[in-house]
Amino acid sequence: MPEETGELSDLLEPFTQLGEINARLHQHVLEWKRPDFFKRQRWDFDGTIGERPIWGPYLDGRGLTDVDKRLLKKCADLIKSRLEQFGNSPDRFGLIHADLRLANLLIHQGNIRVIDFDDCGLGWFLYDIGAALSFMEEREDIPELIEAWVKGYLGVRPLSEEEIAEIPTFIMIRRLKLLGWAASRGQTGGLASELGVPFSKGTCQLARTYIERFQ
C-alpha cells in the first residue's frame, strides 16, 4: 500500500479528496430512505472491538503479553465510555463504506471511482477516517493527514468541534479492529501474516498515547 510510506506532500491532496468523497457519501445516506429489507453488518462497539467482533478479538493479537492485554482492554473501555457520550444519532451514525482508503479509489477517464464495498455497513460516520488511516496510524504526520481529510469533508458537510476532537477515538477503534483482523487471518498469508508482533506492539503504544490523551 503506497500510502503507508508515501511522502506527506504526495498525500495531502489525495486525503483532501478522500474527505470530500466521504462527506458526499454520508450526505447521500442522510438523504436516502433505507428500504425495510435492507440489512448490513453493524460496525458499532460490539461489532468492532466489543463482545461480537466481526473481524475477530483484538486480544488475540500476536505476541501480546498479559500486561499488553490489560492495557488494550483499558483502552477499549475508555473508547466505549467516550462513544456512549458521543452518541449514535442519525447525523453521526449511519451507512458507511467502512474501508474507504486511497487503495480503494480508482481513476477512470479523469473521474474518481470508489470500489470495494464488502465491508459497507452501519457505523459512525467518523469511523471512515479511521479506515482511511489504516496501517498508517504510527506516522508522525498523522495530524496533517487528519487536517487534510477534515478540510475536504468540511467543503461538503459540517463537522462540530466535538466531532473533530473525537477523531482519535475512531482511529483507535480501527487499529484495534485491524489487530483482531490480523490475528484471525494470520495463517492465510498475505498482509495479515506479515504484520506480526511489531503491529501488536505498535498498537500498544498507540493505546498508551490514547489513554494519556483522554483519561
* CATH number of the domain encompassing residue 41: 3.90.1200.10
Instruction: Report the alpha-carbon distance of residue 145 to residue 198 in Å, rounded.
Output: 23
Are 148 and 19 in contact by the 8 Å Cβ rule? The answer is yes
Please give the helix or strand (H or E) that residue 42 lies within, else none.
strand 42-43
For the chain, the first-to-last Cα distance in angstroms comes to: 33
**What is the predicted pLDDT for the residue at 196?**
86
* Residue keyed to cell 486525503: 15
**Amino acid residing at 9:** S
Angle (CA) 136-210-196 rounded to 5° is: 45
Instruction: Report the alpha-carbon distance of residue 84 to residue 33 in Å, rounded.
Output: 26
pTM of the model: 0.94
* Residue keyed to cell 494519556: 212
- Residue 140 CB-half CA count within 13 A: 1
pLDDT values of the chain reduced to their tens digit, one per residue, 215 residues: 335 567 898 999 999 999 999 999 999 999 999 999 999 999 999 999 999 999 999 999 999 999 999 999 999 999 999 999 999 999 999 999 999 999 999 988 878 899 999 999 999 999 999 999 999 999 999 999 999 999 999 999 999 999 999 999 999 999 999 999 999 876 666 777 788 899 999 999 999 999 999 98
The domain of 120 spans: 2-214
Question: In the sheet where 93-96 sits, what is the strand order?
Answer: 42-43, 121-124, 93-96
Instruction: Report the alpha-carbon distance of residue 31 to residue 79 in Å, rounded.
Output: 29
User: Which of 11, 48, 30, 61 has its CA nearest to residue 170?
Assistant: 48
User: Which of 93, 76, 53 has its CA nearest to residue 211?
Assistant: 76
The domain total for the chain is: 1
**What is the predicted pLDDT for the residue at 185?**
77
**What is the predicted pLDDT for the residue at 80?**
98
Q: What's the Cα-to-Cα distance from 123 to each of 4, 111, 167, rounded to whole Å? A: 25, 27, 14
Residues 6+ apart with CB under 8 A from 144: 8, 12
Are 103 and 3 in contact by the 8 Å Cβ rule? The answer is yes
